[in-house]
Copies of this chain bind each other. A is one copy, B any other.
Amino acid sequence: MHAKKEVLISCVFLLFATGSWAGEPPISEDTRACLECHATVHPGRLEDWKRGRMATITPAEAMKKPEAQRRVSYDNIPESLNNVVVGCAECHTLNSKKHADSFDHNGYQVHVVVTPEDCAICHPVEREEYDRNLMAHARGNLKHNAVYKALVDSVNDLQSFSKGTVSYGPANDATEADSCFFCHGTHVKRQGTMEKDTDFGEMSFPILSGWPNQGVGRVNPDGSKGACTACHPRHGFSVAVARKPYTCSECHKGPDVPAYPIYSVSKHGNIFSSKGQSSSWNFDAVPWTVGKDFTAPTCAVCHVSLLVSKDGSSVAKRTHQMNDRLYKRLFGLIYAHPHPVSPDTTIIRNKAGLPLPTELTGEPAPGYLIDTEEAQQRKEAMQQVCLACHSNGWVQGHFDRLENTIQTADAMTLTATQILLSAWDGGIARGPAQKDSMFNETIEKMWVEQWLFYANSTRLASAMAGADYGVFANGRWYLSKNIRTMLDWTRFLQRK
């Protein structure tokens, strides 16, 4: 950390002069200037970038590939960017005027937070698709929906004890950023500027709140939403990493959205774990060829990637909307329901006037959810992926079983809801009619677990054929037990 600047320069020179990085890619002057210091200051970051595709191919070269092999989707790009690899300066000085986090750094206007708006210069289609994704709106959908926000508060608020009872006090931003909004995304704001004494003298840096964060619905200092780095980690930005289930598991492992643990006990997950590390699997190929590059799906196969069969014919189109192969939303809410039309779900109102896609009794909120035709198209898009390996009868049987499971899990949620409604009515718990949170008492929290943990998990275990998780791990056993416990609990409470 205390090496002299001269040493640094020699070091960087050496780095690029050695034969180990043959056919030196065209690096911009600006990026060279960045590397001059940062190669030594943050060596891990630099090496990660160097191994990635961004460091080895220019946008112009990328655009020359046949369409199916392209990872870029731009129409036009500034000439200055087109013929250099995508290095530090290309991203961190782009659109700097829009960036509240820009600062003068050795003569460059640099910003800290690279955003989907920045990435969109080469990947406009992906950015637009992602914006239609619930994930891009994951922060607002939680923060600006009164019901969901009350659930968030019930998790994060501080409780304090006094005179035999407990009261709630509001959670601060740092707590929220370390809890729900770690995955849903923080709002990254500039709070000022600080001076710092560095190895290279005194320097100015922006002070950011809500940082660091790589949540899928992050609100960025340029006003954009999302973080491509949620799935394509810096600074390799690998498609291979994003295609492996470990990436999805960062946010989809807990009992509320247990996609990863369910996948891991499915036959698909077994085959991925058993064979996926072998050299015969290729997680980097674009397009991704069924049977050649992989013989069992990962999350990305079913939900995101451009898939072809060995003869080149299309199996599935690439999408970053994520839910356009999903005909129903299976988790996160009280009951399963057709996917919302708008990724901004704060606009939804059910008949009871609540911002929920269903009534408390389970009926879908009319007008805000995709219609039968759209649902059928999405279902068929998913089934095309299944059919690449499975017969029609297999696929039909699987989806019929899922539909039955959706109905039964919803029915078990309805029963729990009726117990809660009866507790509210009977005055042994305080709900909306008493102007109290739906989520802050024990019996209410049991009810939340009925749908957020057990019904969700049961449905998802069915959808992904990972039954082991949906029985005793986090599914039907508890769906059933929880109802009995709630019932006993209300009886104990009645004697208050």
Q: Which residues of A contact B (CB under 8 A)?
A: 1, 3, 7, 11, 15, 40-48, 51, 112, 154-161, 164-166, 171-172, 174-175, 177-180, 182-183, 196, 198, 205-208, 211-212, 214, 233, 236, 238, 240-241, 244, 246-247, 249-256, 264-267, 269-271, 273-275, 277, 280, 290-292, 295, 309-311, 313, 384, 387-394, 397-398, 400-402, 404-405, 408, 411-412, 414-415, 418-419, 422, 440-442, 445, 452-453, 461-462, 465, 467-473, 475-477, 480-481, 483-485, 487-489, 491-493, 495-496
Closest to A206 in B: B393
A164 CB, min distance to chain B CBs, angstroms: 7
User: How far, in angstroms, from A121 to B401 measured CA to CA in the complex?
Assistant: 33
User: How far, in angstroms, from A309 to B337 measured CA to CA in the complex?
Assistant: 52
A61 CB, min distance to chain B CBs, angstroms: 23
Q: Is the CB of B160 within 8 A of A415?
A: yes
Q: Is the CB of A250 within 8 A of B266?
A: yes
Q: Is the CB of A393 within 8 A of B291?
A: no
A-B pairs with lowest CB-CB distance, top 3:
A47-B291, A182-B467, A44-B389
User: How far, in angstroms, from A261 to B367 measured CA to CA in the complex?
Assistant: 41
A236 CB, min distance to chain B CBs, angstroms: 7
User: How far, in angstroms, from A160 to B46 measured CA to CA in the complex?
Assistant: 60
Q: Is the CB of B254 within 8 A of A174?
A: no
A-B residue pairs in contact (CB < 8 Å), sample of 25: A1-B384, A40-B309, A40-B313, A44-B290, A44-B291, A44-B295, A46-B291, A47-B292, A112-B393, A155-B477, A157-B480, A161-B414, A171-B408, A175-B404, A205-B393, A212-B394, A246-B269, A249-B265, A249-B270, A250-B468, A255-B473, A256-B471, A440-B484, A445-B485, A491-B496
Given contacts A182-B467, A310-B47, contact A481 B442 (CB under 8 A): yes
Q: Is the CB of A161 within 8 A of B415?
A: yes
User: How far, in angstroms, from A214 to B268 measured CA to CA in the complex?
Assistant: 13
Q: Is the CB of A44 within 8 A of B388?
A: yes
Q: Is the CB of A177 within 8 A of B291?
A: no
Q: List 7 extra interface pairs beyond A182-B465, A488-B492, CB under 8 A.
A: A43-B310, A44-B295, A47-B292, A158-B411, A246-B274, A255-B472, A452-B472
- A442: chain B residues at CB < 8 Å are 481, 484-485, 487-488
